[in-house]
Every structure is written in C-alpha cells, then in structure tokens.
Chains A and B, each alone.
Chain A
Amino acid sequence: MNATFTMLEMRRITRDWAGMFFTAVLPAFFYLIFGATVSAKDASIGNGNVAMYVMISMAAYGAVTATTSIGGNAAVERQQGWGRQLGLTPLADSSYIAMKALIAMTVAAVPVVLTFTLGVLTGARGSAQAWALSAVLVLVGSSVFALYGLLIGTAFRSEAAVGAAAGTLVIFAFLGNLFIPLSGALLSFAKLTPLYGYAALARYPLTEGFLPDGSRDPLWLPIVNVLAWLAIFGALAVVLVRRGRERQ
C-alpha cells in the first residue's frame, strides 16, 4: 500500500465539492427530512424505531453513491490514458485496485458516520447489535455498487455517464424501498431491483425482515438479491473490461 498515492487520490475526491455534496450531505439531509422530523419517527420497528430505519436507508444511499462514482471514475480515467501512464510505473494492478477499494470504503464511510451521528442526536433508537451490524452491512454491501460504476464507466467511457449512473441510483433507491415505503405490485417488483436486497439486508438487524406495510421478507430474499446482482454486475464488468482490452 502506497500512502502518498492514496493520500493524493483522497485529496482529489475532497476537491470534488459537488460529488461530496451528493455523497455525504444529501443523504444526511434526507434523513433529517424523512426520518428525524416526521411524526412517526418514534414508532417502533423490530428492535428499534422508524428514525433508525430511515437512517440506515439514507446511509446506504450515500454509501452506494460514493462507491458507484469511485468505481466509475476509476474505469473512465484508466481508459482515458491514465492506465497507460500507470503501466509505465512499477505499480501493480493489484495494488492499484487495493488502493481504490480502500478509498471507496473510506469515502462510503463518510455518509454512514454522518447519518448515524445525526441519528444518535435526533432520537434514532435500536439495539446495540442492530447499530453495529447495520453499519457494517451498509459499508460492506456498498462495494457491490463499485462494480456497477465500473461497468458503466467501462461501457460509456465518460465522466458524464458515471454521473448518470450515480443518478440512476435515485430510481433504484425508490424501488429499493429506501425513500418511501412501497406496497402491492410495485413492492413485489421492487424486490427484484438492485438496491432492494442491499438495503433490506442492512436493515435486517433492526427489522428482522418486517416491512412498513406489515409483511415480512425471509432472510434469504435480500441475500439472494445481493448475490444475484453481484453476479450480474461482476459478469458484465468482466466482459466489458476484456472487450476494452482487445480493442487497444
């Protein structure tokens, strides 16, 4: 691990004010609006309350925004010639990936820490186990979306496409039951979308699978959703990266 390299990469990210706003500030703001200030915030859900349910959802949204854009921008900058520049140095691909992963996890932790801190201050309640486990699940699960960013960046080769990919997360977040509680046919469809499993899994330590409409997901459902989307993103990324290499 190369400290100078990692530190300079981190500095690039902190320079991107717009990116940091969407990653860190917006989810915290959403939590305050949809979680901390609603009348139902103290209603109990599973091992805690509604405020905590919203807090985990928003932290998850922020974390995937971070990993998607970091994964996507890494793909774009490598294809725009930075990959060739790095190919002229002793830096191994594996060290590069390790550094980018560390950075993605670090940046993803920012909205988690911010939203969870606001949660503590504004009355989110849950068991200690639920707090700890959901934080870990939000962070670890967000790495799946680094692959999503990577494949969009590889396919479309532009920073604008990566921005659009981060934008599609808003739609996935609605469908993933992150912003408003879904019900009926829309909920049934939502269970197939990429953010649903990740968010449901992150909330599982709190909800034990219970949904706002009173129904309950068995634990296998979010796990299968996450694994299926991991496989889809992974396979597409491998195909696209390979095709890009052939063309060089």
Chain B
Amino acid sequence: MTTSHSSTAGASGAPAVELRSLVKTFPPRRGSHDSEVRAVDGVDLRIEPGEVVAFLGPNGAGKTTTLDMVLGLTDPTSGSAEVFGRRPRQAVVTGSVSAVLQTGGLLRDLTVRETVRMIASTYAVSSPVDEVIDRAGLRSLADRRVSKCSGGEQQRLRFALALLPDPRLLVLDEPTAGMDVSARRDFWDTMHADASAGRTVVFATHYLEEADAFADRIVLIAGGRIVADGTTAEIRAQASGRTVSATLPPGSVAESVARLRVVDGVRDVEERGSRVVVTAADSDAVARLLLLDLGGTDLEIVTAGLEQAFMTLTGDSRDAGVVLAHDEELAR
C-alpha cells in the first residue's frame, strides 16, 4: 500500500525523522464496550533533513498522535521514533526539534513578550526574544495580553515560541485550524519567509491546498496508516484519469451503466439518479459512447484533482472529511 519515496536529501548523518513500525493504542473509553483504539497502526517513515513534508489526512487519521510521538509528548505502544538519530525527548532538550501545536496552551494573563521570555528562559541557549518576535510578525502586539489576541495572532505567538531554540526540525500540527482565509494566508507567508533557512518542516493538515502549496512531499494518512507517500505530482498520478458525467434518457440508465462498465480503462461507474459519473483513463472514448450511442446530454468532463486522488487512495469519498476549498488561493 505504501509507496516508497526516493529521497535526494541528506546523505550524511541521521535522518530528521525516522519512524519504525510505530503503533499507539488507547484504552477504550470508560463504560463503553468498544475495544482499544489503534490511533497509529504501524507507521514506517523516513524524513531527510531539509524536506518539507505534509501529513495529510482526515480528522482522527492519527496525524496528531504520530506527531506527539515525534515530539516525545507520548510514548509509542510499540515501534520506535527517532529525531536526528536521538530519542525525541533528547532532541527536544537539545533544541533540535520544536513545534507549533493546535489551539489552546497559552497563558491568557501574560503578554506576548512575557510568554516568549518565559519559554526562552527554559532553554540554555535561545534566539533573542525581540528577534523572534519580529520574525513572527508580532512586534506591534508585543505588549498585548494573550487573552486579547485573535486566534491567528495566538498562532503566530506559538510559531514565535517554536523558533526560540532555532530548531533543525519544525513540526506544525494543524497550524491554521480555525483561522479565516486571510489569517491562514498571513501565517503561511510568515512560514515561507522562514523556510529559506533550510529547516526541515513537517506539518499536519486536512486542507489539501495547504499540503499542495507548501509541501515538497505529501504523506497521506488514513486509519492510522500511511496510504500514500510522494510528491504532489506523484500522488496525483497514482489516481490519474478524468471523470465524465452525463444525463441519460429515462429507463436506459441501468443498461447504459452495464455497457460503460466493460469499456477499456473505465475504473468506476456511479449512478446518481438519471446521471452517470464515469471515472476513466480515456475520457474521449467514454464521452463519444455517452453522446452518440447512449443518448446522453449535459456532458461534463473533469480532470481529477488532488482531492480526487485523496479520495481514491483513502477509499472513502463521503466521510473523508478533507476540506475541498476550491475558492481558497493559498500561499504562493
């Protein structure tokens, strides 16, 4: 299931992240009869220094749990996680990895600058507080209480905190969850400005556009497993093809579906009332058949996008939970 990723980076030294047969289970909820939950179910992954990798998957796919183990916040049930060849907690202590976590987790009664000073004080060596505040675009907010900052501003503050140890690996867990479009764009602009430093970046998202726009490599996760791994182009190619749809005359749908199914290169035929939706490698042949032989009208041909690829690969088109935000032009 997992496609191997041929990396070009980092021949020397340890990989930035190495996960081997990583498993994390949680006990069932109190009072329920469910069996234990396998949040992460055997993940093998190697990320080289300098890569920018997106963990893409629906909510509950196991992204956060996997990242928690990379950061040493949770211990694996079995398997191992290493960061630059060390145990995650050691990597955190030496400042080689840091992270921007999901919402929550700031002290509301401190100011922005005080928060940065407080976290800076836990490191033996850290970047200067004012420099980090500038890089995260927080200079004008430095003396504002955290409770008075918007969600996007708080997220930039978490980003500032993550920059303090000048980490070689930066982990971002759903960094833009809950932000509006412009706040999200601001956040990624800040990230882009910083990425030139050659940092390894791993981020989790369920926004396809973010993964597509920012990552060199996408790791698709569903049900606690990696279902695909490659560049954006590679992932798209894995589920290439086009979707052809048309309205058919009443009464002929069942027969037409049967004929379409046997056409070479047709992968899927779906009935939606009087319309059929055909996924096929050769869309021209299908279109010809629909218009000329089957009496189809209102023909539409759509090229499979990344979201289509995602659905094909996770095998679930309805409950995938991936946000298909066509109208959101992100980060460039």
List the interface of chain A (C-beta within 8 A of B). 2-5, 8, 11-12, 15-16, 77, 80-91, 246, 248
Contact = CB atoms under 8 A, between A and B. Distances in A.
A15 B109 CA distance: 8
17 contacts: A2-B122, A4-B121, A8-B114, A8-B121, A12-B107, A81-B103, A81-B105, A82-B105, A82-B107, A84-B73, A85-B105, A88-B71, A88-B162, A89-B119, A90-B94, A90-B123, A90-B124
Contacts of A15: 109
A91 B107 contact: no
Nearest to B121: A4
B13 interface: no
B218 to A, nearest CB: 25
Interface in B71-91: 71-74
Nearest to A5: B121
Given A12-B110, A80-B105, A89-B92, A246 B98 contact: no
Contacts of A90: 92-95, 122-124
Interface of B: 27, 71-74, 92-95, 98-99, 101, 103-107, 109-110, 114, 117-124, 158, 161-162
Given A81-B104, A81-B106, A82-B106, A88 B118 contact: no
Contacts of B110: 8, 12
Contacts of B99: 88
Contacts of B161: 85, 88
Given A5-B121, A8-B114, A90-B122, A85 B93 contact: no
A52 B242 CA distance: 88
Nearest to B173: A84
A12 B105 contact: no
B106 A89 contact: no
Contacts of B95: 90
Contacts of B27: 246
B109 A12 contact: yes
Given A84-B73, A90-B95, A77 B107 contact: yes
A5 B116 CA distance: 11
A4 B118 contact: yes
Contacts of A16: 109
A32 to B, nearest CB: 30
Given A85-B161, A88-B98, A5 B118 contact: yes
A89 B123 contact: yes
A16 B145 CA distance: 13
A40 to B, nearest CB: 43
A87 to B, nearest CB: 5
